[in-house]
Amino acid sequence: MIKESAIVLSAEKLSKAVNGPDGVLTILDDVSLSVEHGASLAIIGASGSGKTTLLGLLAGLDRPSSGTVSLAGESLDTLDEEARARVRRRMVGFVFQSFHLLPALNAEENVMLPLELEGRDDARERAASALADVGLGKRLHHYPHQLSGGEQQRVALARAFVHRPKLLFADEPTGNLDQRTGAAVSDLLFSLNRKHQTTLVLVSHDPVLASRCARSLRLRDGRVVEDHS
């Protein structure tokens, strides 16, 4: 049995429904899960199965229609958006398919951003160190348009890990990359995850990438149909 103190992320009976032209559409239906500290979980399934919706609910980016989510023992259900954002800044890192770098900021400034939001006075030092960890120590002052897709995703990885989050959410992190570049970014993601002992929750259509996680959760029509460790 998992000790309660070891659980970083938990969800109970999560459901999400929206009003559509043909009535109520249920996107996610009665999903429960727990993830331990340092674990890696892949959420897999066909397009439209509810993967990204589940990720958004687990990260507190959206509210469920019913059910509960807790991050490191802190319930998100009673928090407003501002309070949920504070929890995310403190505990969570994100990597997306689209790199979401700010075009007006160089690599170093993009990585500094979450630290500056926390009011850290060592933001520049830590950003430079994080970029060195992803092999971009000599590209600090390059802007996103001066970087390849793989380099932009490495900047995004540095930004995700720079504040040492308890939990990293990755949504199709290699989806915009060619096979070779995607494999290199995948290697880096799992290397950084081991180094920082971060809990990883990954959404991917790529079975090779998903298989690198210790556990996989398959969704179909918004419900969990397989849970493999």
Cβ atoms within 10 Å of 221's Cβ, excluding its own: 14
Please state, in angstroms and as integers, the Cα–Cα distance from residue 42 to each residue in 45, 114, 139, 203, 214, following that order. 10, 25, 31, 6, 8
What is the pLDDT at residue 128?
Answer: 96
What is the pLDDT at residue 77?
Answer: 85
Pairing label, strands 74-75, 92-96: unpaired
What is the pLDDT at residue 3?
Answer: 47
Tokens of 161: 């890990």
Structural domains of the chain ordered from first start? 4-228 (3.40.50.300)
What is the pLDDT at residue 25?
Answer: 87
- Cα distance between residue 59 and residue 222, in whole Å: 17
**Confidence (pTM):** 0.89
What is the pLDDT at residue 112?
Answer: 96
Ranges of the chain whose pLDDT falls below 50? 1-4
What is the pLDDT at residue 4?
Answer: 44
